[in-house]
Copies of this chain bind each other. A is one copy, B any other.
Amino acid sequence: MPTVAYLGPEKTNTYFAALKRFGRKATYVHASTVEEVFRLVERKKADFGVVAIENSLQGGITHTLDRFIDFDESPVKVYGEVDESIQHFLIFKKGIKPEKIRMVFSHYSALDQCREWIHANFPNASTLPTNSTASAIEELLKRDKSGFGRAAVGRIELARSSGLKAVPIPISQENRTRFLILSLKSAPKGDNSKTSLMFSLKDKPGALYDSLRPFKQYKINLSKIESRPTKRKAWEYVFFVDLEGHESDPQVKKALRALRRTTASLRVLGSYPAEGARGRG
């Protein structure tokens, strides 16, 4: 069974995405940063790594995108994806009256996703960021003499394992996170492939338009495009593109060859089986 590194601690959303894909028999290794997940895969301490890449409410996960940019010679490939629905719960100690809640702890992203609901239901509560949803629970379990009611936001599993109460937080929009499976190996080719790329533009007008022409020409659908700062120079961007098809497909091959000519740099991050619904570019 494989060894799988994921962004921990345990019972985070990334952990459950890894579990969904690799099952209970795999060996799991917690990493405390996205950087560490990549490094464990690069140094063969783990066969696979699992990191979030995108959330449907918040967009790209910048730590992951930027690791691809900062180490553009890394041998790590995208081996697959997991697309998971995220359900947040308000978690608090049994015996706490919800109307007494004045402090809500959670990871920055989870607080952001639930901000409207928290404000509407607990107008007097402050939101306090923690390093992960799991550390929000640790905060909750600390002894507290303030007399203020305290709560955390996280998955129901976090409440269950600590004997805490959990109330589902309704969010009107669809809250999904897409995770990438990283590996040094390439994924076997299946029916419904997807390919992830990153490229930077030549410094000339119309460069982005020119870079998209090969996809149009070879009738390749883009399911995603996202820009990130290069960090080398202010206001210069790298583009992450997902396309439908496998890098060994003849049309994709032709498009990539043309793309290489129109861009300043191009890296194919991997071809892998597509999962779940996709947008259009």
Interface residue A20 (Cβ < 8 Å from any Cβ of B): no
Task: List the one stretch of A89-97, A143-151, A205-213 in contact with chain B.
Answer: A205-213
* B216/A280 in contact, CB under 8 A: no
CB within 8 Å for A212 and B209 given contacts A56-B234, A59-B228, A227-B226: yes
Contacts of A236 in B (CB 8 A): 279-280
CB < 8 Å: which of B227, B231, B237, B280 contacts A207? B280
Q: How far is the CB of A158 from chain B (nearest CB, A)?
A: 19
Question: From residue A95, how far is it (CB to closest CB) to chain B in Å?
Answer: 28
Contact B59 A280 (CB under 8 A): no
Are B279 and A235 closer than 8 Å at their CB atoms?
Answer: yes
Copies in the assembly, this chain? 2
Taking the closest CB of chain B, its distance from the CB of A108, in whole angstroms, is: 5
Distance from A8 Cβ to chain B, minimum over Cβ atoms (Å):
15
CA distance A127 to B63 in the complex (A): 16
Of the candidates B56, B108, B127, B219, the one whose C-beta lies within 8 Å of that of A235 is: B56
How many Å lie between the Cα of A237 and that of B239 in the bound state?
14
A232 closest partner in B (C-beta):
B173
Chain B residues with CB under 8 A of A186: none
Which of A204, A205, A222, A278: most chain B CB closer than 10 A?
A205
A 85-138 contacts with B by CB, 8 A: 108, 112, 127-131
| Chain B residues near A216 (CB-CB < 8 A) | 206, 209
Q: Give the size range of A's interface with the partner.
A: 35 or more
* Contacting pair A229 B62 (CB below 8 A): no
Which residues of B have CB within 8 Å of A281? 201, 207-208, 237
Chain A 212-230, CB-CB to B under 8 Å as 1, else 0, gives 1101100101111111110
Q: A277 contacts the other chain (Cβ, under 8 Å)?
A: yes
Whether A280 lies near B227 (C-beta < 8 A) is no
A280 & B203 in contact (Cβ 8 Å cutoff): yes
Residue in B closest to A222 when the chains form the complex, CB atoms: B208
**Residue A265 CB within 8 A of the other chain:** no
- Interface of A with B (CB < 8 Å)? 54-60, 62-63, 108, 112, 127-131, 173-174, 176, 178, 201, 203-209, 212-213, 215-216, 219, 221-229, 231-237, 276-281
Supply 27 A–B pairs (Cβ within 8 Å), ascending by A.
Answer: A54-B235, A56-B229, A56-B235, A57-B229, A58-B62, A58-B229, A59-B60, A59-B228, A59-B229, A63-B112, A108-B108, A108-B129, A129-B129, A174-B231, A174-B234, A176-B234, A203-B280, A204-B280, A205-B219, A206-B221, A207-B280, A208-B212, A208-B222, A209-B212, A212-B212, A223-B235, A234-B277
What are the 7 A-B residue pairs with the smallest beta carbon separation, nearest first? A56-B234, A129-B129, A235-B279, A209-B212, A208-B281, A205-B221, A236-B279
